[in-house]
Amino acid sequence: MEHTSQKHKTSRLLFFDNVRSSVVLLVVLFHAAISYGNVVPWWYVVDSRRSQLFDVFTAILAVFMMPVLFFVAGYFALPSLQDKGPAAFLKSKIRRLGIPWLFGVFFLVPIMPYVRHYTRSADNGEVALSYWRFWVTSMSSSGWFRYAPLNLLEDRFYPGYFWFISLLLCFFVVLCLLYEAKKKWLGGSVHFSQAEAASSRSILVRLLLFGFISSVGFLAVGWLSSFESWVIIANVLMFQPANLVLYVCYFSFGVYAFSRRWFANGHGLGRLTTWGPICLLLSIGYLIVVKKALAGPTKELAIAFGFSHSFLCLSLLVVLISSAVRYWNRPSAIGQRLALNSYNIYLVHLPIVVAFQLFLAGWQGPALVKFTIVAVASVLSSYGISQYVIEKSRLLTVIGLAVLFALMSILIHPR
């Protein structure tokens, strides 16, 4: 989710900005939809009006959104590292990722668990804490350097949706270490982008090999730890172990794609007429497997889930990238604005989504209408805050966070 290096960015790669922006908007829609589905009981606002349509919608989105973002980040990490050198590269990443992470986990992330605590305390026969007391209690566990399974229903400190930011920063650190190690072992400078642009046939072979490797890794780790479990390390890194395999694979695949000059010839990853039907068939098969697994998991279904999930993720990446190369590879005012604001939209969107979900929770309107209102309002609000507050003044952003925190601490009391 970083801005592209100007030295390596050409008009033929504008599609990457559009891919990144589109996926960030899908993340907003994904979080807007969870409240109206049936499969995430720990969500901050569980609406009484729900539909299986949103279970299908979120199930498909969850397969590919974050792996695609890691792939794009990996693709542009290498040229940025080559341009700046390891020290300047890491400094820029810490400034852009680490500082927002600190502000986010302390002042934005606690809002969502508090909404759940406040709205469900009566159902549990408890008295809701004030926001200040809840925040202090949560922060008291922020110094716990633990490695443990994470219970998302616990009101303890955790990075929340900022898990992506800290994990991406960790990937950049590891990339720098490997880059320096390779330079030391090989001697002299390291250049990765001298290979000729790959042919469609060679890309297909590598895609299939990558799909098999990522499937085996995803299945093996998911088998040992369960596919849905979360782990937290030192209250900084938070991830699902099975998905971590995919994130490592897709980030590395992005680095590899840049090193082999994929997309340099203006071509995508494959033919849409081939991968489109494959993607559709895999989506149907994946949904059937998920439905059967929810009814009664078996070893056979676990294997089918692992391979269908991984290859569906790969096929969606191919379709998305190839569509973007063909149809979204030109400059536009809207595309440029979304590219500029997509990272900030990710940073601020979730408290906004949950606020709109909570606001509409008492209205007995159709789930689809409520979702549409939440999604549109959240996208527009997140974009507006990014464009007219964050991009205008970082100081104003910090002041805004402080005012929000103060108002919540003063005005929200036990009930």
pLDDT above 70 covers a percentage of the chain that reads 91
Token output for 351 = 């408290």
CA angle 254, 260, 263 (to 5 degrees): 75
Q: 52-84 vs 241-259: helix axis angle to the nearest 10?
A: 50
pLDDT for residue 316: 97
Which tens digits make up the pLDDT trace of 3-32? 444 444 444 588 999 999 999 999 999 999
3-class DSSP state for residue 97? helix
pLDDT digits (tens, 9 = 90+) for 108-143: 999 999 999 988 876 777 788 999 999 999 888 777
Calpha distance 182→167 (Å, rounded): 22
> What pLDDT does residue 359 have?
95
Tell me the pLDDT band of 161, cut-offs 50, 70 and 90. Answer: very high
pLDDT of residue 202: 82
Query: For residue 111, which of 373, 357, 350, 344 has the smallest C-alpha distance?
Result: 350
The sign of the CA dihedral 116, 122, 123, 124 is positive
Question: How far is residue 109's CA from residue 335's CA, in Å, rounded to a whole number?
Answer: 28
147: pLDDT confidence band, cut at 50, 70 and 90? low
Say what the pLDDT of residue 265 is: 75
- Quote the pTM value: 0.92
Round to whole Å and give the CA distance between 123 and 117. Answer: 10
pLDDT at 193 over 80: no
Non-local CB neighbours of 231 within 8 Å, separated by 6+ positions: 147, 148, 149, 150, 225, 238, 239, 240, 241
Choose between 153 and 82: higher pLDDT. 82
Q: How far apart are CA 350 and CA 363, in angstroms?
A: 21
Question: How many Cβ atoms from other residues are within 10 Å of residue 392's Cβ?
Answer: 11
Domain boundaries, the chain: 11-411
Q: Are 231 and 239 in contact (CB under 8 A)?
A: yes
343, with CB counted inside 10 A (0-12, 13-18, 19+), is buried
388-413 per-position pLDDT tens digit: 999 999 999 999 999 999 999 999 88
In this prediction, residue 10 carries a pLDDT of 43
Distance between CA atoms of residues 139 and 141, nearest Å: 5
> How many CA atoms are closer than 13 Å to the CA of 48, on its beta-carbon side?
6
At residue 261, the pLDDT reads 84
pLDDT value, residue 251 = 97
Among the listed residues 381, 291, 313, 283, the one whose alpha carbon sits nearest the alpha carbon of residue 28: 381
- Cα-Cα-Cα-Cα torsion 264, 83, 343, 244, nearest 10 degrees, comes to 80
Residue-level pLDDT at 219 = 94
CB 415 within 8 A of CB 127: yes
Length of the chain: 415
Question: At 297, is the pLDDT very low, low, confident or very high (cuts 50, 70, 90)?
Answer: confident
Highest mean pLDDT among 61-70, 134-143, 253-262, 323-332: 61-70
Q: What is the overall mean pLDDT for the chain? A: 89
Q: Could you read off the pLDDT of 368-389 as tens digits, one per residue?
A: 999 999 999 999 999 999 999 9
Between CA 155 and CA 131 the distance in angstroms is 12
Residue 127, Ramachandran bin (φ over 0: left; ψ between -120 and 50: alpha; else beta) = beta
Contact 31, 341 (CB under 8 A): no
Helix pair angle (14-34, 52-84), 10° resolution: 140
CA dihedral 118, 121, 123, 124 (to 10 degrees): 160
Q: Between these two residues, 157 and 318, which has the higher pLDDT value?
A: 318
- Whether the pLDDT of residue 188 is over 70: the answer is no
The stretch 94-98 carries a mean pLDDT of 95
As separate numbers, helices (DSSP H) first and strands (DSSP E) second, the chain gives 14, 3
- Whole-number pLDDT of residue 153: 67
Q: Among residues of the chain, what percentage have pLDDT more than 90?
A: 67
> How crowded is residue 133: how many other Cβ atoms within 10 Å of its Cβ?
14
What DSSP state is assigned to residue 305? H
Amino acid at the residue 161: Y
Q: What are phi and psi of 149, to 5 degrees?
A: -60, 145
Tens digits of per-residue pLDDT, 170-179? 999 999 999 8
